[in-house]
Structure 1
């Protein structure tokens, strides 16, 4: 079984009390720590990687992001999915090829455009379909991020997220990620969306992982939360040294 097949299998047959937990490494060293702790797969956070490279979130050049992902993948033996934001404007075929060069077996693609507004959902579905066609049916695990909870002016973020999720799954997405969805929205999303749902849990002091699973999350990621907590420990150490 390939790493991509292994990763896809991890998303299915799970009980609500046992969501898939994917820590987000920001460099090779943190990736090794998470693998040694026993996690079966990892998912890089674009904001965490950006911070490790000295960039603001969303400002990392594509070449540097892909190089960072390559170093993370090289450091571990478990499957790694990469957050590649909106795809850096690359054509689908080139995007898939560059991901393959890193060794990543999956990716996040968000539906916020370069101007910071939500893309037309059918346009984004077409983009996902192009990526799926370029990758083939099994080679790449596509996690389609849905940004309706992040953008102002969305009258009903839950209803809009459900509509986008249906389009994205039909286009070939393996999982959808309604980032920023509050816990009270999860049961409605779960009831209406086919397939795995990713929930971001940057607040490590919030609901437990089991609670997120029982609300409807198939898998849980942390965005830059783990990197920021680690930097908090570094800052505390630095202040102690003074």
Structure 2
């Protein structure tokens, strides 16, 4: 089959329909996208925080057009389906949510997520009705595309100082009725909360990986997809911090023993795979 003819959106949807849960890692540039592809993952997702940090910016500090350009680069760097973390999207209105979907599709993405986080620290979560209107508009746009596109709706309460599980479930249930394909409440920290969320909806649920979770436990709790968010990015920044400490405080270079071999990276990137 001509790989250019593959409906990556359909491939991505089928991953959610398969038994168990799959892990979707989050590269933050072309190199990490190619590297993660080479390891055998089945799909990739962008990370808004990871990309922002790589640009020396805080999470939320990248403009929409720059983010879409980044997504286009990631989608073009791999044969895998790529979903994008597009934060709140192009703007605050329901119409802007639709425009976000069309921009994501034009960038070659197989899916994307839109949050109910406003970007305003003083008022971080959209009101319930407006949040649902935005999801409904995005879902309508996604379903109007000529090929499959997996739209994820995110309820951000737990990331912004509102650990209200009842309200989070109410939002996810409303997002499901509004047409979202996948539901996501990042920031859940215990398996029972994950189980409660998954049992409250019928659409696939994405869960953010947390220390202490296992793939088997999350799958048993009902998760279909497990994303890593910015964790790979912050892990690499942590390793850089450790290396700097070793150099400056101990005068040693033992960190290099854990480095990926130069020839392996050279070969990977030389082949373009």
The TM-score normalised by the length of structure 2 is 0.80
Q: What is the SS of the residue equivalent to 2:159?
A: coil
| Structure 2 unmatched ranges of 5 or more | 1-5, 249-273
- Contact 2:88-2:115 within 8 A present in 1 as well: yes
Quote the offset at 1:239 in angstroms. 4.7
Does the alignment pair 1:127 with 2:129? no
Would the alpha carbon gap of residues 210 and 129 (structure 1) be closer, same or farther in structure 2, given more than 3 Å must change? same
For 2:66 and 2:18, the matched residues in 1 are separated by 36
1:221 is matched with 227
Q: 1:43 aligns with which of 21, 45, 50?
A: 45
Q: Give CA deviations for 1:204-230 in whole Å, capped at 9, x if unaligned.
A: xx2222122222221111111001112
CA RMSD of aligned residues (A): 1.9
Does the alignment pair 1:167 with 2:174? yes
Quote the offset at 1:112 in angstroms. 1.4
Does the alignment pair 1:143 with 2:152? yes
Higher RCO structure (Cα 8 Å, ≥6 apart):
1
Q: Give CA deviations for 1:36-74 in whole Å, capped at 9, x if unaligned.
A: 000010011110011112210011111221111111111
Would the alpha carbon gap of residues 194 and 24 (structure 1) be closer, same or farther in structure 2, given more than 3 Å must change? same
Does the alignment pair 1:235 with 2:237? no
- Contact 1:84-1:109 within 8 A present in 2 as well: yes
2:73 is matched with 71
For 1:153 and 1:44, the matched residues in 2 are separated by 25
Q: 2:186 aligns with which of 171, 176, 179?
A: 179
- Contact 2:10-2:149 within 8 A present in 1 as well: no
- Contact 1:145-1:179 within 8 A present in 2 as well: yes
- Contact 2:89-2:114 within 8 A present in 1 as well: yes
2:3 is matched with none
Q: What is the SS of the residue equivalent to 2:106?
A: helix
- Contact 2:22-2:225 within 8 A present in 1 as well: yes
| Structure 1 unmatched ranges of 5 or more | none
Q: Give CA deviations for 1:69-92 in whole Å, capped at 9, x if unaligned.
A: 111111100000000000030723
1:13 is matched with 18
For 1:202 and 1:225, the matched residues in 2 are separated by 9
For 1:63 and 1:151, the matched residues in 2 are separated by 25
Q: Would you say how many aligned residue pairs link Structure 1 and Structure 2?
A: 235
2:8 is matched with 3
Quote the offset at 1:169 in angstroms. 0.8
Larger radius of gyration: 2
Quote the offset at 1:235 in angstroms. 3.4
